[in-house]
Chains A and B, each alone.
Chain A
Amino acid sequence: MYLIELKELVKSYGPVKALKGLSLTIPKGCLYGLLGPNGAGKSTTLRIICTLLSPDSGQVYFGGLDVLRFPGLTRKKLGYVAQEVSIDKILTGRELLRLQGDLYHLVPGKREKRIAELIERLDMGEWIDRRCGTFSGGMRRRLDLASGLLHQPELLILDEPTVGLDIESRSVIWALLRELQAQGTTILLSSHYLEEVEALANQMAIIDDGRVIAEGIPSDLKQQLGGDRVTLRVREFSDENESEKVRQLLEGLEGVREVLVNRAQGFCLNFVVDNENVLPRLRDELKSAQFNVFALAHSQPSLDDVYLQATGRTLMDAELEVAGIRDVKLETKRAMR
């Protein structure tokens, strides 16, 4: 049974098309990961689900309810933890939680009980009565998460919840998300961290350029790729020209496919081999062509490989491409109501 259904969502910000017909379904009770580089359309998707944005076209359903027609009913059922932590620096953590409770119309008794539970669960007792302006990034994120959970939502939406966090805060958040999912809360999480989605999600979609390019169970997506992943470095610091020559050589070898020059990692080469028996032959061919092997790593497929397979570039490459053309100030302005 699906809790969320998105159908052919299109959304533009002026000339920039953020979503280009994005469709996906999120089963009830799962921890669903949205993976993709910055600017892929993850935040826009989440903002549409939580009624902060309206799509130019397309449909959104929450448990069969048309979100675009009944946004008020949807808001009661979801908790949203935005990418930019939006706290009032003058209030204390507890005051902020009380405000949140009142915005969700909790009766004072229940509100105080939930606040006490969350303070304990997220280990916020030592600092919750200090002003939010004095909090570290990890403390702010935990408080924001507590705000999103205060009214016990059916769906918790988290936009890049662990960006820039210390390891302790990250592990507290990961543990809580696993616990919530075990208790039946549906969680929708966006991230551009591969390891986060691999570690947490039991279903996922990869978003690129405003579309879903792969969707399913992470292990299935990796297995569907077939073959083993190899990363080859002929020298510690190769140049593009040399890597291109190696690529041409590798493409002629039997049992080797999908050879790519990875610019983001110093022009190393990523490719797929049918099995590990191909590797000794590959070494011999490189030696005959007078190429050294500085490093050769061999692994099972990862989610980055799924992304690579679908887009022809690594997630890191995609990040670097976007980093050069993104205007964060403009995006912030667009996000303003």
Chain B
Amino acid sequence: MTSPITASQQSSDQLNRNSERIQEILAMTKRLFIQLFRRPSTLIAGILQPLIWLVLFGALFSNAPAGLLPGGMSYGRFLGAGLIVFTAFSGALNAGLPVMFDREFGFLNRLLVAPLVSRSSIVFASVIYITSISLVQSIAIMMMAFLLGYGWPGLIGMLLVLLTLLLLVFAVTALSLGMAFALPGHIELIAVIFVANLPLLFASTALAPISFMPGWLGWLAAINPLTFAIEPIRAAYAGPLNLNSVVLHAPYGEVTGIQCLLILTALSIALFVLIRPLLNRKLA
């Protein structure tokens, strides 16, 4: 039987461990933010690129016939949701790069030699960092879209947008961190990012609805995780939010907003479960 003193010691040890865990996660996250503030070019580029897309693509299709897009939406408003998701997706896809550079330059060894309460703190720090950056970038795009007259989703809609982005960012960050540990170097990681980025954008409903696409591309778009993030956000921009309403008319059936979020949740969990053995092996 456990004595009260032992139980109290255990509780105190657990408290200590939690406090140490927080200390190490905050320290590693702080390092990433210091790097960002001293080298802000990636953050700025990450905001500028979708803004340019928003302005140029928005202008390109500004004279499209009214009623062409679902719900009579303007192309700028249609595009806004796609670019918000694309921004978050691109940022999260790059999440593995700092980790890869730490591996290559030996800084990871400094972290691994330290008596971390859990080596998953290294992953948590990356997730916190990249999630914060993606959200900041996405909010910048939303504000710009608002200034360009493409609408604002309202407070509840904004919460839905942030929740959707969080789910997508978790999933893609897991994928990127997995690649950062699995691939041999940053050249290979950048190559994969380069190959995945734009094709996934074009094979989603970011730039055009499924009804505009040839059958095979429609199928691709309908199973593309980006689409499951884009459509609830687009619905939030379109009007009063109802998660039970259909947001995606896919070739295989109709998908509601809540179903999109569930799919993204499942994807995030599945990817973290999938990369866990790899992280355990690499960080053992």
Give me the interface of A with B, judged by CB distance under 8 Å: 50-52, 54, 72-73, 75-76, 78, 80, 82, 84, 86-88, 90-91, 95, 98-100, 102-105, 131, 147, 333, 335-337
Within 8 Å by CB of B115, from A84, A90, A105, A131, lies A105
Of chain A, the residue at the smallest CB distance from B103 is A336
Q: A75 and B113: CB pair below 8 A? A: yes
Known: A51-B113, A82-B106, A147-B110. A99 touches B27 (CB 8 A): yes
Known: A90-B39, A102-B24, A102-B26. A52 touches B109 (CB 8 A): yes
9 interchain residue pairs of minimum CB distance:
A102-B27, A86-B106, A103-B114, A75-B115, A76-B115, A105-B20, A90-B35, A80-B113, A86-B107
**CA–CA, A84 and B20, complex, Å:** 28
Interface membership of chain B positions 102-133, coded 1 if the CB is closer than 8 angstroms to chain A and 0 otherwise = 01111111111111110000000000000000
**CA–CA, A224 and B181, complex, Å:** 50
Residue B136, interface by CB 8 Å: no
Sampled A-B contacts (14; CB under 8 Å): A78-B113, A82-B106, A86-B110, A87-B107, A90-B39, A99-B30, A100-B110, A102-B24, A102-B27, A105-B20, A105-B23, A131-B38, A335-B106, A337-B112
Q: B112 and A52: CB pair below 8 A? A: yes
Chain A residues near B116 (CB, 8 Å)?
103
Known: A82-B106, A337-B103. A103 touches B35 (CB 8 A): no
Chain A residues near B110 (CB, 8 Å)?
82, 86, 100, 103, 147
Chain B residues near A86 (CB, 8 Å)?
105-107, 109-110
**CA–CA, A102 and B35, complex, Å:** 17
Of chain B, the residue at the smallest CB distance from A72 is B115
Interface residues of B in 163-198 (CB under 8 A from A): 181, 184-185
Among B28, B30, B114, B184, the most chain A Cβ lie within 10 Å of the Cβ of B114
How many B residues touch the partner, as a band?
A: 20 to 34
**CA–CA, A87 and B101, complex, Å:** 12
**CA–CA, A76 and B113, complex, Å:** 9
Chain A residues near B117 (CB, 8 Å)?
105
Of chain B, the residue at the smallest CB distance from A76 is B115
**CA–CA, A237 and B138, complex, Å:** 73
Q: Is chain B's interface secondary structure helix, strand, loop, or mixed overall?
A: helix
Cβ of B179 to closest chain A Cβ, rounded Å? 14
Chain A residues near B115 (CB, 8 Å)?
72-73, 75-76, 103-105
Within 8 Å by CB of B31, from A72, A73, A99, A336, lies A99
Q: A336 and B114: CB pair below 8 A? A: no
Within 8 Å by CB of A337, from B105, B109, B185, lies B109
Interface residues of B in 122-170 (CB under 8 A from A): none
Interface residues of B in 18-46 (CB under 8 A from A): 20, 23-24, 26-28, 30-31, 34-35, 38-39
**CA–CA, A75 and B114, complex, Å:** 6
Chain B residues near A72 (CB, 8 Å)?
115
**CA–CA, A52 and B109, complex, Å:** 7
**CA–CA, A82 and B114, complex, Å:** 13
Of chain A, the residue at the smallest CB distance from B30 is A99
Cβ of B92 to closest chain A Cβ, rounded Å? 22
Of chain B, the residue at the smallest CB distance from A148 is B113
Among B103, B108, B115, B117, the most chain A Cβ lie within 10 Å of the Cβ of B115
Known: A90-B39, A95-B34, A337-B283. A103 touches B112 (CB 8 A): no
Of chain A, the residue at the smallest CB distance from B111 is A103
Cβ of A160 to closest chain B Cβ, rounded Å? 13
Cβ of B129 to closest chain A Cβ, rounded Å? 14
Of chain B, the residue at the smallest CB distance from A332 is B104
Q: B24 and A84: CB pair below 8 A? A: no
**CA–CA, A290 and B273, complex, Å:** 80
Of chain B, the residue at the smallest CB distance from A95 is B34
Cβ of B211 to closest chain A Cβ, rounded Å? 48
Cβ of B122 to closest chain A Cβ, rounded Å? 10
Cβ of A330 to closest chain B Cβ, rounded Å? 11
Q: B31 and A88: CB pair below 8 A? A: yes
Chain B residues near A84 (CB, 8 Å)?
106
Cβ of A12 to closest chain B Cβ, rounded Å? 17
Chain B residues near A103 (CB, 8 Å)?
24, 27-28, 110-111, 114-116
**CA–CA, A231 and B128, complex, Å:** 64
Known: A86-B105, A102-B23, A103-B27. A333 touches B184 (CB 8 A): yes
Of chain B, the residue at the smallest CB distance from A83 is B106
Chain A residues near B39 (CB, 8 Å)?
90
Among B23, B113, B185, B284, the most chain A Cβ lie within 10 Å of the Cβ of B113
Within 8 Å by CB of B104, from A76, A87, A90, A336, lies A336
Among A72, A73, A84, A102, the most chain B Cβ lie within 10 Å of the Cβ of A102
**CA–CA, A190 and B185, complex, Å:** 28
Chain A residues near B38 (CB, 8 Å)?
90, 131
**CA–CA, A81 and B39, complex, Å:** 27
**CA–CA, A335 and B103, complex, Å:** 9
Chain B residues near A82 (CB, 8 Å)?
106, 109-110
Of chain A, the residue at the smallest CB distance from B26 is A102
Q: A52 and B104: CB pair below 8 A? A: no
Chain B residues near A78 (CB, 8 Å)?
113
**CA–CA, A284 and B106, complex, Å:** 59
Chain B residues near A50 (CB, 8 Å)?
113
**CA–CA, A82 and B284, complex, Å:** 19
**CA–CA, A9 and B38, complex, Å:** 44
